[in-house]
Amino acid sequence: MADITLIEGLRQAMDEELGRDERVFIVGEDVGARGGVFRATMGLFEKYGAERVIDSPLAELSIVGVGIGAALYGMHPICEVQFADFIYPAFNQIVSEAAKMCYRSAGEWTVPLVIRAPYGGGIGGGLYHSQSVEAFFAHVPGLKVVIPSTPYDAKGLLKSAVRDPNPVVFLEPKKGYRLIRGEVPEGEELLVPLGSARISREGRDLSLFAYGMMHHYALQAAEKVAPEGIQVEVIDLRTLLPVDEQTVLASVRKTGKALIVHEDTLTGGYGAEIAAILAEHAFTDLDGPVMRLAGPDVPAVPYSHPLQDWFMPDAERIAQAIRKLAAF
């Protein structure tokens, strides 16, 4: 076993997949010689060459559009958008083209593509380096949307995403790139299936759903409230589209109470989808209202430190929300 950071998990995944399959390549800004602005692709340019790790023009639209073309030809591109905040120019290609290609060609053309982007705040990035974008893509049938929160899942899910024949939007909690460490087995093929949630902590009193950085704060919050007699079940959703409804519903049938946490802004955020699923399919198991704790409904994360802290949910805020719901 090796104790590695989340970003190292991503790097290892890409290294292994490039090594395993010639059709896999990486394209994005600064991914080559610089190894990526976060160093996610460090060493890969030296190992696999400029042909397989391509420094693209500063043009997110074509990073993805050209990637789609290559995927149509049978390649397996990993397209990196440097910050999720800059994914919008590529929105047309992702939603109009990648997501719809298989359906519109009745299965004749498929797009085995991964679009990777760091997302989320808490790193002093201000409005345009801190955004969460998962809600936009979780709404698009034909895409898969994946968010790891541990090094193990980062590696295992990215490898699975590369091998998935569908277009996958793979969002990485950048705050956790180096903050989150964890154990990853060495010397064996590590694949974590898409579409499956993980119960990271069992409990009887309340189901707490989270992903990305918030999953870590959720675990911390659950620890905090345990001595008060509140046993929280924490679930890392991992794949938002298609979501593991079975695990979600089974947990709430057990606990009767649900709290969903995400750093994305509240209204229309991904939590609303989980809440709707619970309201419809777990109604008679509910012992309290389905609650969401999310970023405030402001255009984005402010820069100044205290303002950033005001925006970002943390373990203490999650603990308070747990206590309130547990007391209902």
Partner 1 sequence: MAVRQDLQVELSQETLLEMYWYMVLSRRLDERAWVLHRQGKVAFHISAIGHEAAQVGAVFALRRGQDWLVPYYRDLAMVLALGLTPLEFMFGLMGKQGDPSSGARQMPSHWSLRRANVVSHSSPVATQSCHASGIGLGIKMRGDEAVVLTTIGEGSTSQGEWYEAVNWAAVHRLPVIFMVENNTYAISVRKELQMAVAHVADKAAGLGLPGITVDGLDPLQVHAVMSEAVARARAGDGPTVLETVVHRMTPHSSDDDDRSYRPRQEVEAMKAQDPVAGFRDRLLMLGALNDQAEEQIQARAKHEVDQAVSLAAEAPYPGLEQGGFPVYVEDIRHG
Partner 2 sequence: MPVEVIMPQLGESVVEGTVTKWLKQVDEPVREFEPLVEINTDKVDTEVPSPANGTILARFVDEGQTVRAGTVLALIGEPGEPLPQREHGEAAPARKREDLGFISPVVAKMAAEHGLDLSQVPGTGQAGRITKKDVLAFLERRPTAAPPAPWEEPGLGELFRPSEEVGAAKPAAAPGTILPLDVVRRSIADHMLRSRHTSAHVTTVMEADLSRVIAHRQAHKEKFQREGVSLTFTAYFAAAAVTALKQVPLVNASWSDQGIVLHRQVNVGVAVSLGDKGLIVPVIRDADQLSLQALADTISDLAERARSRKLRPEEVQGGTFTITNHGTSGSLLATPIINQPQSAILGVGVMQKRVVVLEGKGPTGEPADSIAIRPMVYLTLTFDHRILDGAIGDQFLGLVVQRLQQWT
Give the active site residues: 129
Which SS3 state, helix, strand or coil, does residue 322 take?
Answer: helix
Compute the least distance from the CB of residue 313 to partner 2, in Å: 23
User: 65 is in the binding site of which of partner 1, partner 2, none (Cβ under 5 to 8 A by kind)?
Assistant: partner 1
How are strands ordered across the β-sheet holding 291-295?
Answer: 198-201, 232-236, 206-210, 258-265, 291-295
Contact of residue 109 among partner 2, partner 1, none (CB under 5-8 Å per partner type): partner 1
β-strands 239-241, 144-146 pairing? antiparallel
Tokens at 35, concatenated: 């190894």
Interface with partner 2 in residues 208-267 (CB under 8 A): 256
Could you tell me which of 73, 71, 75 has the C-alpha nearest to residue 99? 71
User: Quick check: 68 and 92 in contact, CB under 8 A?
Assistant: no
Amino acid letter, residue 6: L
Residue 284 near which of partner 1, partner 2, none (CB within 5-8 Å, type-dependent) = partner 2
Identity of the residue, 110 or 220, whose beta carbon is nearer to partner 1 in the bound complex = 110
Phi, psi of 118 (to 5 degrees): -75, 140
Closest to partner 1 by CB, 70 vs 135, is 70
Out of 205, 236, 244, 264, the residue judged to bind partner 2 by CB under 8 A = 205
Contact criterion met (CB below 8 Å) for 75 and 43: no
The verdict on 285 binding partner 2 (CB under 8 A) reads yes
According to DSSP, the residues that pair with 170 across neighbouring strands are 116, 146
Instruction: List the Cα angle 153/157/151 in 5-degree steps.
Output: 25
Q: Toward partner 2, which CB reaches closer, 128 or 328?
A: 328
CB nearer to partner 1: pick between 92 and 304: 92
Report what 93 binds from partner 2, partner 1, none; CB cut-off 5-8 Å by kind. partner 1
Q: How many residues bind partner 2 (CB under 8 A)?
A: 10
287 binds partner 2 (CB under 8 A): yes
Work out how close the CB of 180 gets to partner 2 at its nearest, in angstroms, rounded to a whole number.
Answer: 34
Binding site for partner 2 (CB under 8 A): 205, 256, 283-288, 327-328
